[in-house]
Structure 1
C-alpha cells in the first residue's frame, strides 16, 4: 500500500506518494536489523563514527531536497526547513565527534591481582518513533547516536511527513552497511506493532503525552528501555530587560517559529505587571506584521498549520480562552488562502493562570500573556503545569536569575535568550515532558544507546 501526501498550504496539491509497511512484516524487519547489528557492533567505535560521518556528508549533499520535502509536507517556511537540516547535521556531527571518547571507568579493586572496570556495549535494535513537525531533525537525533554506539535502528516517520526519512534511506543505502538503518512507514497500528515487537532493545519516542503513555505501557510488557520526549507548555518570565525590543524579538521568534508547532515553543509570557502593557503592544505589533502564506514563498514568515484538525484545535483554544475572559490583542482568526490551513499569529492578553490556554499545550501560533506582581508568583505560575520541557527568563538581576535556575521545573533553562537548544547539549525534560534519559547529545544519550557492564578480571597466576 501507499500513502498520498498533500501540501497543507494548498491541499489540492499532491506532493508525494510513499509505500507503507504492513504490521505482519514487522518481525522480519526486526530480524534483519538484529542480524545486521551483530556485524555492525564488531566495527570499532571510532571507525563507526567515521562511517556515520560519511552518511552525514551524503545527507548534507541532499539539503535542498530534504528542506523542500519538509516545507511541502508540513508547511514550515523554507528557511526554517533549511535551518532544521543544518541543525540536525550539526547535532549529528557533535555525536560522531564523541566516537573516540571514553565510555567506561577503571575502579580500584577490593581483591589483589584483579582489575575492575566498567564498559558499555551496544543496546541492540532501536525503534525510533518520530513526529510530523520535525521530520528530519528528530529522526537524525535518534539515528546518529544509535549507529555510532553500535546499534541498528528501525525508524518510523510520521505517516503525514515521510519524505525526509525516505531520502535518509536512499543515502543510507549508499553509505551504510545494509540493514542497520531501515524505514518503517505506516499508521499508528504500525507504531504499536513496532513498540511491542519481540527483539526490540530500546524505543525512542517523540510525540504527545497520551501516545507516550501507550508506548511506555507497550515497552513495559517486554521490559524494553525507553526514551520519551513529550509535550511542553513552555514559559518565559519577563522580569526586566535593558533592551525590551530585543527581548520581544527573541520571544516572538521562539513562540511563532514553525507556526508555534514546536515542543519547545514559548507559549506563555509571564510578565511583571509594570511591563504588561508594553509587552502586549510590542508582541501584537509583531504578530500583525506577519506575512502568512506558502512556505516556499520567500516573502512568507509564517506558514500553515499541519492540517485541518490542527487548525480547528487552535481555533477552539482561542475561542474558549475568549469565552473565559481573555482578550485577543492580535490574530484570533482563520486566514483563507488557497484552501490552506492558515491561522493568524495570536496574542492573548488578560489571561489568568487557571485558564485552559495557560495550562494545556496548544501546539499552534498562540501566545498567552500572564501578569505577575512578585517573583514568588512568577515562579509559581511557571511551574504550575504538568509539563517541564523548556523555560526562559529575561532578567539582569542576579537574585532573580539564581532563583530561576534553582527553582524552575524544566529540563532546559534559558536566561536572556529564546528557547532554541544548542547542537551539542542534552535535550531533556522533566515531569510529563519526558521519561527515561534525554536525547540529542551528552552522557544521557550514551546511557540510552548502550548498556553498562562491569568487569572483574583477575590476572593469570
Structure 2
C-alpha cells in the first residue's frame, strides 16, 4: 500500500517521533463493509444471548492479554501518562465485563391483557448494524463502551477510531479476528470524509457518536436523513460546588485529580470550582500549590505528572482561552503559559481566580489543563452558576449538609451527579448527560444500553394453553 494510503502518527510529547503508521479505509469500501456486517449480524443474532456473552468474555480476555500493547499505543499516540493509559484499559475491561454479566438479564415484560385467553408481552430484537464513531482522548474505553453492548445484544459493529489515535482499535481488530465471527467487528479508519460516508450509508441501523457538539450536530443531520437511531455523547463544562468540607485538603486532592487527569482532556473533567466565598482564598492557594508541583513530560516517563495536549491546535486553543480570560479580568494564580520541551504540546497546569460566571472560560469547554475558580455568596447563586450553561454531563458537590445535598441531587442539571467525590464514573453505571451534553438513549454502560442497541416489539398472543 502506498504512503498516501497511510496515516503517520507522531508523539505529542515530541512531535519529531513517528510512533505509528496505519492504513486508511477507502470511502468506496463502506458499502461492502455494510454488506459484510449485515451477513455476520444475521447469523450472530441467532446465537442465544448468554452464549454471545461467553464469546465476548473470550474477546475481553484476548484484549486483557494485550493490555501492555494497548496502553503503550495510547500513551505514544495521545500522550497521556502510561499509568492513566493502563487505568483506561483496565477500566474499559471492567465496564465490558459488567455489561457481559447482563447477558441473562430480562429483556422484556409481560403485561395484563384486556382480552380473555390472551397474553401480551414485549420483547426486543437487535437493531442490526451499528456504526460507532470515537474520539481521540479515550481510544480504547470509548470503543469498548460501544462494541460490547452492540455485540452482546446481537448486532454487528463498524467502528471508526479517531484518525489521531487508531492503535488501540487496530489491536481490537486483531483480537476480534481471533475470537469472534468474521465480519462482526470491523474497523473503518480515515478522516472526516469517511465519517460522512459511514453515517450516511444505507444499511446502518444505529449510530453511536462520541465527540464535540459541533460534529454531533452534523452526525444528527446525517442520521435524520435516513431516520437512523442515534446516541450522541458530547461535551461538558463540569462544575464542582465546594460549600464545606470536613477535610479541605482531601477535597482539593480529589478536585485537582478530576480536573487535571489526562491533562484536562476528559469530557467529564472538572473545569469550574464554584466555591463559598469564605473558602475562596484557601481553595485558590491549595489548587495553585498543586498545579505548580506538576511535572510535564512524556507519558512514558514515570516521573511525568502532566501529559501534553493532543496537538498544536489544542495547545493554541487552550492558550487562547487563558489569554482571553486574563483580558477579561481573571487572575492567573498558577500556570498560564506554554512549556517549551522537545517541541511538545505542553501547557502548564493553570488555576484562574477572580473568574465571573459570564466569562468565556466559565462557560465554554476548554478541554485542557485549566481550572476556573468562581466565588459565591449563597447557595441560590451557586446553583444558578452551576446550571446556567449549555452543558450537563457531570457535576459535583462537596458538603456535609444533608438539606443541601438533597437539593443538589434534585436540582442540578447534570446526567451524572457526584457528592463528596470526583467526577469519575463507575464500571457498571450509566454514562449519561443532559442538555447539549447528550442526545438519544444512552449508548454506553448500564441497563439503558438495551434500549439503544435493540428494538422493542409487542406481542399479542391469543389461545388457550
User: In the aligned structure 2, how far is the partner of 1:452 from the partner of 1:21?
Assistant: 34
- Residue in structure 1 matched with residue 132 of structure 2 by the alignment: 128
Q: CA deviation at 1:427?
A: 0.3
Query: Does residue 194 of structure 1 match 2:194?
Result: no
> For 2:277 and 2:256, how far apart are their aligned partners in 1?
19
Deviations, residues 267-310 of structure 1 (Å, cap 9, x unaligned): 00000000000000000000000011000000001110000000
Alpha-carbon distance between aligned partners in 1 of 2:459 and 2:35, rounded to the nearest angstrom:
29
Aligned position for 1:339: 343
2:443–2:453 contact (8 Å) kept in structure 1: no
1:434 has 2:434 as partner: no
Contact 1:122 1:149 in 2 (8 A): yes
**Counterpart check, 1:296 vs 2:290:** no
- Report 1:274-293 matches (<5 A): 274-293=278-297
The unaligned stretches of length 5 or more in structure 1 are none
State the shift of 1:440 in Å. Answer: 2.4
Contact 2:297 2:306 in 1 (8 A): yes
> What are the equivalent positions in structure 2 for 1:118-157 lying under 5 Å apart?
118-157=122-161
The count of residues paired between Structure 1 and Structure 2 equals: 461
Match of 1:4 among 8, 13, 22: 8
Q: 2:55 maps to which residue?
A: 51
Other-structure match for 2:88: 84
Is 1:352 equivalent to 2:356 in the alignment? Answer: yes
Q: After superposition, give the CA deviation of every residue in 1:409-438 in whole Å (9 maximum; x if it has no partner).
A: 000000000000000000000000000011
Cα drift, residue 182 of structure 1: 0.1
Deviation at residue 460 of structure 1 after TM alignment: 6.0
Look up the match of 1:266: 270
Match of 2:326 in 1: 322
Structure 1 residue 110: Cα displacement: 1.3
For residues 146-295 of structure 1, the aligned pairs below 5 Å read 146-295=150-299
User: Any idea what the Cα deviations from partners look like across 1:244-286, whole Å, max 9, x if unmatched?
Assistant: 0000000000000000000000000000000000000000000
Segments of structure 2 that go 5 or more residues without pairing to the other structure are: none
Using structure 1 for the length normalisation, give the TM-score: 0.99
| Alpha-carbon shift at residue 109 of structure 1 (Å) | 1.2
8 Å contact kept, 1:146–1:153: yes
Residue among 107, 111, 114 paired with 1:107 = 111
Contact persistence 2:78–2:310 (CA under 8 A):
yes
- Establish whether residue 384 from structure 1 lines up as the match of residue 384 from structure 2: no
Matches within 5 A, 1:66-77: 66-77=70-81
Work out the CA distance in 2 between the residues paired with 1:16 and 1:27. 28
Partner of 2:30: 26
CA distance in 2, matches of 1:115, 1:388: 42
Q: How far is 1:457 from its partner?
A: 1.1
How far did residue 439 of structure 1 move?
3.0
Please give the alpha-carbon distance, in whole angstroms, between the structure 2 residues aligned to 1:21 and 1:88. 26
Give the drift of 1:458: 1.4
How far apart are the structure 1 equivalents of 2:311 and 2:343? Answer: 11
Which whole-Å deviations, capped at 9, do the CAs of 1:190-220 have from their partners, x for residues lacking one? 0011011110000000000000000000000
| Partner of residue 362, structure 1 | 366
Query: Which contiguous aligned blocks of 4+ residues in structure 1 show a shift greater than 6 angstroms?
Result: none
d(CA) in 2 for partners of 1:348, 1:189: 38
What is residue 397 of structure 1 aligned with on the other side?
Answer: 401
Deviations 1:152-199 (A, max 9, x none): 000000000000000000000000000010000000110011011110
Asked if 2 retains the 8 angstrom alpha-carbon contact of 1:91 and 1:440, the reply is: no
Aligned with 2:400: secondary structure? coil
1:384-431 CA distance string (max 9 Å, x none): 000000000000001110110011000000000000000000000000
Quick one: distance in 2 between partners of 1:442 and 1:252?
28
